[in-house]
Structure 1
């Protein structure tokens, strides 16, 4: 019932947003990511990632982030996870830069479930985040933090072109909605929508490469200002298996 209420609220927000005059800032970015999956046994694994994001038109740093989470497989289709992420934001607008960075500390919990239909895999994820932003103005950091909830739902499809031994090639597409929550959210309950398409190539059983395009349409705190971001994303996946099979 809570999930239904959340998405009903999102629908209302989208209608209101469509009726409001928008100031849209178009940006181009490059995201590069290293993603490590450390398998402990048949149920438990530790996932970590390092992500750097830069603007392309005016070459400026956007942010970098580090994330770690523990994941547990309930069965072959359902998996849960919980972890922590640290973000260091340089600027959200490349024309405006500062000599300081704004930290964000974030907790996260999620549940994912998948269904396989031949060469097609459907993957759904519902994620909750607790976001703590360090207070700041245009001069520097201020004492204290500001807290927001964020709720994310992602529907993802994968299509396997071919798979041979430890190599494979597949296409990935997804749509993800994000909603802000908490008393500090005033005008931007709708956070953003992300649409992604990519190809992933498995080099061997331990390494995979992914290249894709992501469009992020994000509402800012004012309620009338938006980011429309065209993003090229490259990911290096690295698996390490500590599970000793007898």
Structure 2
């Protein structure tokens, strides 16, 4: 499974240069913080729902970057492969500090992931395909137009035990590449690359978090301008069964 993931990454990287202009590359260094609550509620061993809320801030905590909601119906096979279909909405803050209008984005997505073991290391491979409709904002006003793009994402993540006790944190290293396509996507087929290194820690059997450094490298629409976002990431993960939630409700 690991070799399969590496082959996918190698195959995708030649696409990064497609359609780029030949201007000298300009990289803007920025700092961010990124917080998320990712929920996985199961109905039985196969069916469940995913529900995520995320927010990102610029200049560590100073200004808005985006607010993000995503939900999906998910099906897990006997061998722990998961497919999901869902919808999400993003409120993107304006990059110009003198503007106040957020750009709304609607998207539907399809997801497939599978987990495997490489010795004691847990490996997650995840594919997502997103169909996105983003508002066009000009002079702080929505023009009434939306831009459509299709974005393909591939993530590989390694959960590496560093202590013998399972109650101690593990090391997490992951990378996700995002490619986009569409009529308006001329110079930046390569959208972003997200590299993360940090720790993963269980709080309870149903709640855990990861915390660490994330590098968000993004190519802008011009093709030669890039953002290098040095990001402090804190993601919480909640997993439960609907029967447990119902049981809790009867006793509260």
Normalising by structure 1, we get a TM-score of 0.87
**Residue in 2 that maps onto 1:70:** 73
- The question of 1:88 aligning with 2:86 is answered no
**Residue in 2 that maps onto 1:47:** 50
CA distance in 2 between counterparts of 1:131 and 1:163 reads: 44
**Residue in 2 that maps onto 1:228:** 228
Shift of residue 215 of structure 1? 0.4
Gaps of 5+ in 2: 1-6, 245-252
Gaps of 5+ in 1: none
CA distance in 1 between counterparts of 2:55 and 2:30 reads: 16
- How many residue pairs get matched? 238
Deviations along 1:61-106, whole A, 9 cap, x unmatched? 111111111211123242111111110011246xx34221110001
**Residue in 1 that maps onto 2:189:** 189
Deviations along 1:181-225, whole A, 9 cap, x unmatched? 122211111111111112111111121122121101111111111
- The question of 1:130 aligning with 2:110 is answered no
CA distance in 1 between counterparts of 2:50 and 2:128 reads: 15
CA distance in 1 between counterparts of 2:84 and 2:52 reads: 14
Shift of residue 25 of structure 1? 1.0
Normalising by structure 2, we get a TM-score of 0.85
**Residue in 1 that maps onto 2:205:** 205
Change (3 A) 1:28 1:158: same
CA contact (8 A) 2:21 2:224 kept: no
Shift of residue 242 of structure 1? 2.1
Matches within 5 A, 1:151-166: 151-162=152-163
Shift of residue 162 of structure 1? 4.9
CA contact (8 A) 1:71 1:81 kept: yes
- The question of 1:33 aligning with 2:30 is answered no
Q: Which moved more, 1:220-229 or 1:114-123?
A: 114-123
How large is the Cα RMSD of the aligned pairs? 2.6
Deviations along 1:125-155, whole A, 9 cap, x unmatched? 1111101001211231111311001111112
Q: Secondary structure of the equivalent of 1:203? A: strand
1:22 corresponds, among 19, 22, 25, to: 25
Q: Which moved more, 1:233-242 or 1:172-181?
A: 233-242
